[in-house]
Each structure stands twice: as C-alpha cells, then as structure tokens.
C-alpha cells in the first residue's frame, strides 16, 4: 500500500531541486536531490513519476511565485512608463530576494528535460504581464517593436541589476532605478532604429 503524500516532503524535494539546479544545472541526479531533501531516492518518485515531471513541477512552482509577485497589486494604470516601471520594480525585487529561484528558472527554461506542454502552461501564467508589457512597449517604441527582442533586453538588464544589487545591497533602490532607465531608454532607441 502506498504511503500518503506529505506536503512537507514534496516541498523539501522541490527546495532541494531548486538549490541543485541553480548550482549544478538540470543534470543534477534525483539521488542528489533526494539526499539534499533528506529523503530516500524512491520517495522522489512517490511525488514525481519522472525527473522530467519533477523539473516541470519546479518550473511551474517558480513561475507561479514570480507571476504572483508581478501581478499582486494594481498598476498605476497609465499604460506606459509608469506601469512598466512598476512591473520592473516588482521583477527586480523578486529576483533580488530569490536569486536561487531566478537562476533555477533560467536553467529550466532552456532545458530539454522540461516538457513543452509544461512550458506553455507556465507561459500562460504571464498572459496578463505579457499584455501589460506589450502595451507599454508599443506606447514607447511603436507597434513595430519586436516583443521578443525587448524581452531579451529586459532580462539581460535585469540580470545585470540583480548582480549589481548582490554586490551593493545598500544601493538596491538606486540600481533598480538605473536599470529601468537604461531599459526604457533602450526601448525608445528601438523606435528610432525600426527594430
């Protein structure tokens, strides 16, 4: 007879997977994840049928936390700079407070071990955020701006901002504002170059 599931053990497994994926990548074995979680390797498979299912659940858990942080309070409502800056501030605050989860999320997003249907499910969590960003970018750079390109720029500047804040935590507010200024000015430049 199967043992009843324990939310505490499931959480321990996901926490261990977060730490190991952040530091070692998605190649971290289930044996190492189990050891880090303080459970037997077979216990991992009580909660997740395969490693892919574990990584997919981890992706959805982290993306759910991030989406919640991004959308947990009303935006200023200008449809442009103020909304985008509010969104940016939440992103930087979450990433700075959760560097391990951010690193894990980046690795999971490029891993072939995460099933495509899970990626799609995760992307749906950001539909509202995506619409917000699209409106703000169109207002700043025009309708022709490549949303994907702008997103890549945002992620790169966010990553640099996280690193700078980690080095100088007392300067976090200033660095957050500088990062946004660089991003927003860069989006305006896309309009000039027709990107």
CA angle 117, 88, 65 (to 5 degrees): 40
The mean predicted confidence, pLDDT, of the chain is 89
Residue 192: its pLDDT value, please?
A: 66
Closest Cα partner for 17 from 29, 1, 5, 2? 29
Closest Cα partner for 94 from 137, 128, 63? 63
Cα 157 from Cα 56, distance rounded (Å): 26
Residue 168, φ and ψ in degrees, nearest 5? -135, 70
Does residue 91 carry a pLDDT above 50? yes
How much is the average pLDDT of 158-171? 94
Residue 4: its pLDDT value, please?
A: 53
How much is the average pLDDT of 179-183? 95
Q: Tell me the pLDDT tens digit for each residue of 27-53.
A: 999 999 999 999 999 999 999 999 999
How much is the average pLDDT of 63-78? 88
Residue 76: its pLDDT value, please?
A: 83
CATH architecture of 50-193: Orthogonal Bundle (1.10)
Q: Tell me the pLDDT tens digit for each residue of 119-137.
A: 999 999 998 888 888 888 8
Domain ranges for the chain, please list them: 50-193
Does residue 173 carry a pLDDT above 80? yes
Cα 183 from Cα 60, distance rounded (Å): 27
Does residue 1 carry a pLDDT above 50? no
Residue 42: its pLDDT value, please?
A: 93
């Amino acid at each position: 007879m199967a043992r009843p599931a324990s939310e505490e053990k499931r959480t321990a497994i996901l926490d261990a997977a977060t730490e190991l994926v952040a530091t070692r990548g998605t190649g971290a074995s289930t044996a190492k994840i189990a050891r880090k979680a303080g459970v037997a390797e077979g216990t991992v498979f009580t909660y997740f049928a395969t490693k892919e299912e574990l990584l997919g659940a981890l992706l959805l858990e982290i993306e759910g936390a991030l989406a919640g942080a991004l959308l947990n309070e009303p935006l200023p409502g200008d449809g442009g700079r103020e909304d985008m800056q509010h969104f940016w501030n939440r992103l930087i605050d979450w990433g700075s407070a959760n560097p391990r989860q951010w690193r894990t999320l980046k690795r999971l997003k490029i891993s072939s071990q995460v099933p495509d249907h899970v990626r799609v499910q995760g992307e749906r969590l950001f539909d509202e955020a995506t619409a917000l960003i699209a409106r703000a970018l169109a207002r700043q750079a025009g309708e022709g701006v490549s949303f994907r390109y702008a997103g890549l720029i945002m992620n790169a500047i966010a990553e640099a901002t996280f690193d700078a804040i980690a080095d100088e935590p007392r300067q976090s507010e200033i660095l957050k504002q500088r990062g946004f200024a660089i991003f927003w000015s860069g989006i305006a430049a896309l309009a000039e170059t027709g990107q």
